Amino acid sequence: MNLLFFNLTGIDIMILMIPSILFLYSFYKLIVDKYLTANERLFWIIIFLIFNILGAIAYWVWGNNKKRTITS
């Protein structure tokens, strides 16, 4: 398949899709996480926008591993 001026084959498209899916899913999880404060969410959104895939990986390593307890 010829995508614009790039000559991308099936394997090339798959290699590009995997990080894209990781980024989009991580961004979705960040947005819907009800345990993050507004400041934490803003911090992670800025990290995602600046560092893209590395930001998504950092979110899974440091931002999403808190033990969530609901106190009432």
Q: Where are the domains of the chain?
A: 2-63
pLDDT by 10s per residue, the chain, length 72:
555 666 777 787 888 888 899 999 999 999 998 888 899 999 999 999 999 889 988 888 887 766 555 555
DSSP for 5-68 reads TEE--HHHHHHHHHHHHHHHHHHHHHHH-TTS-HHHHHHHHHHHHHHTHHHHHHIIIIIS-SPP
